[in-house]
A = this chain, B = another copy of it.
Amino acid sequence: MTTYKITMAYDGTNYHGFARQPHLATIQGTVERALLKMSKGLPVEVVGSGRTDAGVHALGQVISFNYPGNISADKMVKALNSLMPLDILFKQATIVPADFNARFDTVSKIYEYRVSLDYYTDPFDRLYTGHYSYSIDLDLIKIALQDVVGVHDFTSFEASGGVIKDKVREIYQAEVVPLSDKHQIIFLFHGNGFLYNMVRIMVAVLLEIGSGRRAVHDFRRLYQVKDRQQARWTAPASGLYLKQVFYDN
């Protein structure tokens, strides 16, 4: 038995999210089916650093699993890629101690959210950005992002369906960057954990701040009221990317 930790990218468009579901195409299910082929029928359970929703993408998702065999990390990457559809790509593997768990050993994560600001979305970006057609003031968003950094109770920013009781998370870094060649902006959030739909709800609030629909310091109020209804809408899955997952050493 060998334990592998693997970094992977996927275009989430055609999947019902990361988590295995009967009769639906999922990332976990697709990987587990490939491993079942490689192991000649011995089931292998894949653990992801976290779930991603339907349509959400990954640039650097991390998974771990125990494999009933002993092949090199590079060969594991090659074998898995040869069994994957083209919208899933394994990038790098390492062999890790048997007690490593990609979910529970996660220290922090970076999520990216891409927003297209054109009146109409470019057809080539429709699956890879969220769309917001109101004009925005980036400086207002940058001021609001200062309220995001730090330790906060994010109850207002969790969609129903979340099961974790503790709603306090620390955000180390929150940035927005305009693209030079396209009418798009990219948000980056680095934090020790994220509640269900938290990034997508935060982005929606930030865009409303940018377009003048909300007060610039509305985050401070939303932390206090702990009411998801007041955060209103959720930015679409298509703009969200799990970019990087950090572990100790």
Contact = CB atoms under 8 A, between A and B. Distances in A.
Interface of A: 9-11, 57, 81, 86-89, 120-124, 126, 128
B57 A124 contact: yes
A123 B11 contact: yes
Contacts of A57: 124
Contacts of A121: 86, 89
Interface majority SS on A: helix, strand, loop or mixed? loop
A86 B123 CA distance: 6
16 contacts: A9-B122, A9-B123, A10-B123, A11-B123, A11-B126, A57-B124, A86-B121, A86-B123, A86-B126, A87-B123, A88-B123, A89-B120, A89-B121, A89-B122, A89-B123, A124-B128
A118 to B, nearest CB: 9
A81 B126 contact: no
Contacts of A123: 9-11, 86-89
Contacts of A87: 123, 126
Nearest to A121: B86
A9 B126 CA distance: 13
Contacts of A122: 9, 89
B81 A120 contact: yes
A132 to B, nearest CB: 15
Contacts of A128: 124
A124 B57 CA distance: 9
Nearest to A9: B123
A86 B57 CA distance: 19
A175 to B, nearest CB: 19
Given A87-B126, A124-B128, 10 more contacts: A9-B122, A9-B123, A9-B124, A11-B123, A11-B124, A57-B124, A86-B123, A86-B126, A87-B123, A88-B123
A243 to B, nearest CB: 13
A17 to B, nearest CB: 16
A120 B9 CA distance: 12
A122 B90 CA distance: 10
The 5 closest A-B pairs by CB, nearest first: A86-B126, A11-B123, A87-B123, A89-B123, A11-B124
